[in-house]
Amino acid sequence: MKLVVKDLKKVFEGNPKKNIPDTIAVSDFSITVNDGELIGLLGPSGCGKSTILYMLAGLKEVTSGNIYFDDEDITDLPSEKRGVGLVFQNYALYPHLNVYQNIAFPLEDTYVTTNIKDYKIIFYKKYIELLKEYTEIQKIIFKYLGSNKGDSLEAINEISFKYNVPFKLSKKVYKLLKDKRHSYLEVLSNIYFYNEKIEKEKNKLNKRGYTIDEEFNLLKDNKILTKKRKIAKDEIDLEVLRVARIVQLENYLFRKPSELSGGQQQRVAIARALIKKPRLLLLDEPLSNLDARLRISTREEIRKIQKESKVTTVFVTHDQEEALSICDRIVILEKGKIKQIDIPQRAYDDPKNVFVASFLGTPPLNKFDAKVIKNKILVGNYVVFELNNNDLDGEEVVFSVRPEGLEITNDNNFKYYLEGKLDNYETLGRDKELVLNNEFNDSIKVVFKDDLVIDKLSYKLYINPKKVLLFKKSDGERIYL
């Protein structure tokens, strides 16, 4: 599904009596998200990203602007009719329901319009198919038998997953086959008995003037009949099996959320959001409750699940690494306004303004207030850059260099430099960084090279002109060099 948002605005009304002014949480928010795309809303706390998500979900009202799902305007549609799936920051799993019940919750009591099928025959056919596999199934049953109190449940669970059948059916098979004495003959007689039953059922239908096609649809006068009905328990079973497979929760269906790890709980929340085959999947900081290692593996999983289910997804986060690593495109927000929409690498390499440039990248960008005189950029008395022309003469600018663009080196490849006093040394695992200061910036970050010998207090920081980004001082817009 294609998501189109036009001029979205959200104002939280203040209280004039108590002197609380209105707060504009989001304004001028327009975006087009293509079918199957994973888009990340990225920004610091309070930038309005969650508000946008809740407006898409229909849990917060829109002040002005429109939201379209494909070409349908759903701005005023209540959330239950939008067909969105939402994964909450703290998952909001129902604590009193087990994983199965949590995942199945959105499907219970819902109505579907389907072809009328003969479910008895489908059930018997499946049963016979299972019985034909009886040696395999007995292997599964005996694997669990006697090991535990919950052995029957685990065996039934595995049968259901392996053969993709509802639990009612796997229970029936389990009951028949758990007895070791059951011989091949007994299984055969069961197969024969249920084949008879199918024939009887078919005859009964024929007498009433119905016929059945190969997909078990009921036909009258060669017309397929349809009916609106409550979704059946067996159908819910199959859907739960489907999403549980996607999120790899096969062995946890009958546990309570409190018995699961954070990552598993999160997958339950995703499964619950996916079971209704939502048109739009919304993820509200889904990784913030996980520890660092789990966060990395889970975000890759989210990416995989999203690609498999091909559902259009909006992902909210304040963590740039998350957004940069898994999103197709990212939207960077500041104070409710879009600062840039781009694919992750380009947003990093080619930021449109100083906010985006300094928000993205760890360690962050080094910024210096500078002045242009003729074609030279000066930070204090240091000439740091030379422009091609005099167009910017007299302009106040923000001169900035990525940490990897400042080098402490002896071979003078670069013409210009700044000086800084050594302040600190930080280890970030693979990378190490030096923190220096001077009168223009008290925290200059420099990537540390292994061959460097720290033997002085003051260093010359040579500027790699290719890593320089220049912004207007007035509005923070990028000046392209």
Closer to other proteins at the Cβ: 92 or 145?
Answer: 92
Amino acid at 478: R
DSSP conformation class of 63: S
Structure tokens at 18: 């108590």
Nearer to other proteins, 85 or 363 (CB): 85
Helix/strand/coil for 319: coil
**Cβ atoms < 10 Å from Cβ of 449:** 11
Judged by beta carbon, residue 85 or residue 405, the one nearer other proteins is 85
Buried b (16+ CB within 10 A) or exposed e, 352-381: bbbbbbbbbbebebbbbebbbeeebbbbee
Nearer to other proteins, 86 or 377 (CB): 86
State the residue for tokens 């199959």: 238
- Closest distance of CB 258 from other proteins, Å: 10
Structure tokens at 259: 């018995």
Nearer to other proteins by C-beta: 110 or 189?
A: 110
**Distance of closest approach, residue 107 Cβ to other proteins, in angstroms:** 9
- The encoded tokens of residue 41 equal 């809303």
Does the bond joining 364 to the residue before it have cis omega, within 30 degrees of 0? no
User: 272 vs 367, which CB is nearer to other proteins?
Assistant: 272
Report the chain's C-alpha Rg in angstroms.
Answer: 31
Nearest by Cα to 238 from 159, 172, 130, 165: 165
Q: How far is the CB of 229 from other proteins (least distance, A)?
A: 17
435 and 459 Cβ atoms separated by less than 8 Å: no
Closest distance to other proteins from the beta carbon of 316 (Å): 15
List interacting residues with other proteins (CB under 8 A): 57-59, 79-81, 84-86, 88, 90, 92, 94-97, 105-106, 108-110, 272, 276
Please report how close the Cβ of residue 285 comes to other proteins at its closest, in angstroms: 13
